[in-house]
């Protein structure tokens, strides 16, 4: 749009001013959208926390999910959001790519760490080197000071194990 603005002839000053005003407004909206995107917090977490949010994900999953939750305390928001997205992406990936018939999700607080263990009985062979969403999950967990381990042997399904420190994310 800036290129279009620059190409407006000088005699169309009023049009150029309108275009400039529009560009400024769009830049502001773009900045606002970027701020919102950085702080996205799934509304379902605000309503009940991680446990209920994961139960809802499991109910909505295209693949049956065995959910084992051991959450005995309130978790920091950033940890809940990170864990929620790890589980959501794992369920989505399994439904799209794994040809799985069953999944298991285990979530527990152990000391100062949230442990996530997710496994599907699908075809395996997930490749993090080819730009998969798993790379984004590993980055998300690492940003919280945690670790994500992925195991996906062909014919053996895919397993994710995440450890997210509870105090590092506050």
Domain count, the chain: 2
Q: What pLDDT is recorded for position 132?
A: 64
Q: Are residues 72 and 127 in the same domain?
A: yes
The whole-angstrom separation of Cα 153 and Cα 89 is: 19
37 pLDDT more than 60: no
Q: What pLDDT is recorded for position 126?
A: 86
Contact 165, 110 (CB under 8 A): no
Measured in degrees and rounded to the nearest 5, phi and psi for residue 98 equal -85, -20
Q: Are residues 32 and 94 in the same domain?
A: no
Q: Are residues 52 and 29 in the same domain?
A: no
Q: Are residues 8 and 82 in the same domain?
A: no
Residue 98 counted as domain residue: yes
Could you report the per-residue pLDDT of 110-160, keeping only the tens digit for each? 889 999 999 999 999 887 776 567 888 888 899 999 999 999 999 999 999
Residue 143 counted as domain residue: yes
Could you report the per-residue pLDDT of 12-35, keeping only the tens digit for each? 999 989 988 888 888 777 765 655
169 pLDDT more than 50: no
Question: Residue 116 is part of a domain; what is its CATH number?
Answer: 3.30.565.10
Range of the domain at 12: 2-38
Measured in degrees and rounded to the nearest 5, phi and psi for residue 64 equal -55, 135
- Structure tokens belonging to residue 133: 């969403």
pTM reported for the whole predicted model: 0.74
């Amino acid at each position: 749009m800036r290129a279009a603005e620059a190409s407006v002839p000088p005699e169309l000053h009023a049009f150029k001013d309108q275009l400039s005003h529009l560009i400024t407004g769009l830049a502001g909206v773009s900045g606002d959208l970027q701020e919102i995107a950085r702080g996205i917090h799934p509304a379902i977490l605000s309503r009940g926390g991680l446990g209920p949010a994961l139960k809802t994900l499991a109910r909505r999953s295209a693949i049956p999910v065995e959910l084992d939750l051991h959450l005995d305390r309130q978790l920091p928001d950033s940890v809940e959001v990170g864990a929620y997205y790890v589980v959501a992406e794992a369920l989505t990936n399994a439904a799209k790519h794994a040809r799985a018939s069953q999944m298991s999700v285990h979530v527990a607080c152990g000391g100062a760490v949230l442990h996530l263990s997710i496994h599907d009985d699908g075809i395996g062979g997930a490749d993090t080197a080819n730009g998969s969403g798993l790379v984004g999950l590993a980055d998300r967990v690492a940003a919280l000071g945690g670790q994500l381990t992925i195991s996906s042997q062909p014919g053996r399904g895919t397993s994710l194990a995440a450890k997210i420190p509870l105090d590092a994310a506050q």
